[in-house]
């Protein structure tokens, strides 16, 4: 026990084993001041070794398992909704363009029909005048 206790009296102390205890450095033949400096150097050496020890608490483990990136549960649904919204917007714009083209086509057809109707009315007036002339000629004969 002198190896662990050094110059301290032994009154049945509990044995504490952790990385901060300088095992093997407290021999009875070495003075206390030298064992303290040896203990300090051994602590730094052990703390370097302790970084690799996965069983020590309070140490930072560099080889710990990396956490999976946190993803949004609704990410796929949101992507699909965005794609559908874009498609619906494109479809709506295409429908509006086709309606506009249909209106323009109907307007052009209406103008053509009005021109034809006007020509037919003029032709009907000419024919009516010709019929009136022929009636007058027929009455005189």
State pLDDT tens for residues 2-39: 666 677 666 665 666 665 655 554 444 444 555 555 55
- For the cut 70, the answer to whether the pLDDT of residue 60 exceeds it is no
Does the pLDDT at position 116 exceed 60?
Answer: yes
Q: Please give the biggest Cα pair distance in the chain.
A: 166
Q: Name residue, tokens 């506009």.
A: 100
Angle, CA 70 vertex, CA 69 and CA 72 arms, to 5°: 135
Contact 56, 62 (CB under 8 A): no
> At a CB cut-off of 8 Å and minimum separation 6, what does 42 contact?
22, 25
- List all residues 6 or more positions away from 38 whose beta carbon is below 8 Å from its beta carbon: 22, 25, 30
pLDDT of residue 69: 75
Q: Which residue has the higher pLDDT, 94 or 4?
A: 94
pLDDT of 4: 66
Q: Where are the domains of the chain?
A: 2-50, 72-141
Which one, of 13, 132, 29, lies nearest residue 21 by Cα?
Answer: 13
CA–CA distance, 85 with 79 (Å, rounded to integer): 10
**pLDDT category, 104, cuts 50, 70, 90?**
very high
pLDDT at 68: 74
Are the CB atoms for 22 and 43 separated by under 8 Å? Answer: yes
If you average pLDDT over residues 63-74, what whole number do you get? 74
Say if pTM beats, i.e. exceeds, 0.75: no
């Amino acid at each position: 026990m002198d190896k662990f206790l050094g110059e301290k009296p032994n009154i049945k102390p509990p044995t504490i084993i952790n990385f901060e205890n300088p095992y093997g450095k407290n021999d009875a033949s070495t003075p206390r001041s030298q064992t303290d400096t040896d203990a300090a150097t051994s602590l730094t050496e052990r703390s370097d070794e302790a970084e690799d020890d996965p069983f020590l608490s309070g140490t930072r483990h560099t080889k710990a398992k990396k956490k999976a990136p946190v993803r949004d549960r609704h990410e796929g649904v949101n992507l699909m909704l965005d794609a559908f919204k874009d498609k619906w917007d494109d479809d709506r714009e295409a429908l509006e363009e086709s309606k506009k083209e249909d209106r323009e086509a109907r307007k052009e057809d209406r103008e053509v029909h009005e021109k034809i109707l006007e020509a037919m009315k003029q032709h009907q007036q000419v024919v009516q005048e010709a019929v009136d002339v022929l009636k007058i000629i027929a009455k005189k004969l």
